Amino acid sequence: MEAARRDPSQFDALYRRYLAQVYSFAYYELGDHHAAEDATERTFLSALANIHRFEERARPADGEGASTFRVWLFRIARNAIANQRRTVRRRPTAPIEAAAIVADPLDVEGDAVRREEGSAAWLAVGRQPTDRRRALILRFVDEMSTAEIAGVMGRSEGAIRVLIHRALRSVGRDLRGRSR
């Protein structure tokens, strides 16, 4: 972190370390690979441009190597995603892929069942209110701790635990209701 602050060419190490996590967060929030790539790019460009503003807030009690950089970076990502959504709402477009949907001739029954179950689960997650959905994605896709999620979302750890608990119960009810 300090090396990147002194020399922007050292930012590459931070980029490599967090690229997959930020992209994954953006993808699950936006649901589109291209939009996620754009949001990820904006996140890292903003982080690089504003690295001088970052203040380390990890305490010695947090353990060796602890850093709040990840939380700071995910806050930037959250804002980039929100900006992307605003842009899409203001200027909607249709993807060109929608014109060429073709069924996979090699799809087997087992694949279809697994895809259907996975799709149903993601749809159930997608039907959650924004904060619940975001908390689930940060926790189970990006594997963040409740403390990190609290930092990204600007909430207390207790509020995050409640959000995740309620979201999981709601997704479970949704899936049980659909299987009957």
- What is the number of structural domains in the chain? 2
Residue 81 amino acid letter: I
Q: What is the rounded CA–CA span in Å between residue 51 and residue 46?
A: 8
CATH of the domain at 30: 1.10.1740.10
Asked if 131 and 74 sit in the same domain, the reply is no
What's residue 59's pLDDT?
63
Q: What is the rounded CA–CA span in Å between residue 84 and residue 39?
A: 7
31 contacts 136 by C-beta, under 8 angstroms = no
Asked if 87 and 131 sit in the same domain, the reply is no
For 144, the domain range is 104-180
131 contacts 162 by C-beta, under 8 angstroms = no
Residues contacting 4, CB < 8 A, separation 6+? 10, 11, 13, 14, 51
What's residue 166's pLDDT?
93
* Residue 29 located in a structural domain: yes
Tens-of-pLDDT digits for all 180 residues of the chain? 667 677 777 788 889 999 999 999 999 999 989 999 999 999 999 998 888 888 777 666 665 555 688 889 999 999 999 999 988 888 776 666 655 555 555 656 666 666 777 788 888 889 999 999 999 999 988 889 999 999 999 999 999 999 999 999 999 888 888 665
Q: What is the rounded CA–CA span in Å between residue 123 and residue 127?
A: 6
* Residue 99 located in a structural domain: no
CA dihedral defined by 176, 29, 135, 62, rounded to 10 degrees? 140
Whole-model pTM: value is 0.56
Q: Name the 3-class secondary structure at 100.
A: helix
* Residue 7 located in a structural domain: yes
Asked if 144 and 61 sit in the same domain, the reply is no
Q: How many CB atoms lie within 10 A of CB 76?
A: 20
Asked if 90 and 109 sit in the same domain, the reply is no
What's residue 176's pLDDT?
84
As given in the structure block, the two tokens for residue 86 are 């605003």
